[in-house]
Amino acid sequence: MNSLRIYNTLTRDKQIFVPLVAGEVRMYVCGVTVYDYCHLGHARVMVVFDMVKRWLKALDYRVMYVRNITDIDDKIIRRASENGEPIAALTERFTRAMHEDADALGVERPDFEPRATAFVPQMLAMIEILEQNGYAYQAADGDVNYAVRKFAAYGQLAGFAPDDLRAGERVAANTAKQDLLDFVLWKRAKSDEPAAARWDSKWGSGRPGWHIECSAMSHALLGKRFDIHGGGQDLQFPHHENEIAQSEGAHGHPFVNYWMHNAYVQIDDEKMSKSLGNFSTIRDVLANFDAEVIRFFILRTHYRSPIHYSDAHLEDARGGLTRLYTALKETAPDTSPLDWSEAHAQRFRTAMNDDFNTPIAVAILFDLALAVNKSRDQALARQLKGLAEVLGLLARAPQLFLQKSASIKTVLNPTAIAARIAERQAAKRAKNYSLADQIRAELLAAGVVLEDKSNELTEWRRA
């Protein structure tokens, strides 16, 4: 029997996965700060941990998956002020956009999607515990900070001792701190900040620091200790390091058993990010490539390896996905369940149990496609479709994918959009919800967002 092994960033090796509760997995992943459209780096995090969740379920685990939304932050306050709009309006708009992008990529919604602003009381309670335990102090400027050097294990996730860490790389030095490494737990409100960015506390009016948000939300929804914490490589330090310091400083025992981090999406050997200005939004790419091509592009690289983004690489991914769909078009799968005892499925399981090795799993799909093309065996076609669907791939009828051009160049006119909406309404009346969802996703991939106002009224807009 194969055992799942996960590369644990904390221990820097692959470990056999043993959940805290037999048969159950509790997983938390850091989500998006909703002040702008998501880029491909965000897409990678969403797709990777969607894949992780799907595989855990394929192993018959009951998974509780939490992915948060950061809806209060310096960037959010600044962008809302620049736009002249309320903070809530800004965050709601970009939360909706994030969901549209994730839905298009076949990312299933998490079980819980907490918003930071809904958990401020829990954050304040945790800060108070940290103060009682000697880890938190209020500085002269009114901020409440975490005293890093009082937490002996600080730096364990990043692999550095505090003296080796460079303070001030991400924020300007603050002379009110006892130590430049100390980080903020509660930020005293500034006079020019709006009321929507302020909460009352024993330390004065203010708002939570970024790091305390995830510690408090994960504790509230998953408990003081849980199985898997994930996110992008850029969050390993300082965000996840600070989460450990906060959570273990408050509760006095280990916080997370397995830390997982996906590598960057890179352009010209630099990570894709808003701060570097070298990013492509998901909807920018959806204007030219089918959403499933983007998902396939992400999954064919191991989650801990960098992805090098270019249109040429996406075109190559489109060609690969076309070969898989073509095999299914030529030989329709039979309708029996996936056979995990079959040789390809056993190899697939071995690959996925080796730290979610999707490149090997995808190679096995191509082996199956070759075998299907040679044999026209419907049972092998079933294996191809069934194994691919574990990764969130090949779920459509082949002709629906193959009829699309290599790049989505045509801008749909209103008449064509209305026809597709009518087709979707007919599918919903027939209770064919999978087709209705597919039409919504295809329109989004073509740059058209649907907004259901009632069962029989749907409005649309350009993305």
Annotated binding-site residues for ATP read 274
**β partners of residue 461:** 449
The pair of structure tokens assigned to 426 is 């007919």
275, burial (CB in 10 Å: exposed 0-12, middle 13-18, buried 19+) = exposed
Annotated binding site for Zn(2+): 30, 214, 239, 243
Q: H/E/C letters for each residue in the chain?
A: CCCCEEEECCCCEEEECCCCECCEEEEEECCCECCCCCEHHHHHHHHHHHHHHHHHHHCCCEEEEEECEECCCHHHHHHHHHHCCCHHHHHHHHHHHHHHHHHHCCCCCCCECCEHHHHHHHHHHHHHHHHHCCCEEECCCCCEEECHHHCCCCCCCCCCCHHHCCCCCCCCCCCCCCCCCCEEEEEECCCCCCHHHCECCCCCCEEECHHHHHHHHHHHHHCCCEEEEEEEHHHHHHHHHHHHHHHHHHHCCCCEEEEEEECCEEECCEECCCCCCCCCEHHHHHCCCCHHHHHHHHHCCCCCCCEECCHHHHHHHHHHHHHHHHHHHHCCCCCCCCCCCCHHHHHHHHHHHECCCHHHHHHHHHHHHHHHHHHCCHHHHHHHHHHHHHCCCCCCCHHHHHCCCCCCCCCCCHHHHHHHHHHHHHHHHCCCHHHHHHHHHHHHHCCEEEEEEECCEEEEEEC
- State the Cα–Cα distance between residues 38 and 306, nearest whole angstrom: 18
- State the Cα–Cα distance between residues 267 and 113, nearest whole angstrom: 30
- State the Cα–Cα distance between residues 199 and 201, nearest whole angstrom: 7
The letter for the amino acid at 423 is: E
372, burial (CB in 10 Å: exposed 0-12, middle 13-18, buried 19+) = buried
**β partners of residue 207:** 187
Annotated binding site: 30, 214, 239, 243, 274
The letter for the amino acid at 290 is: D
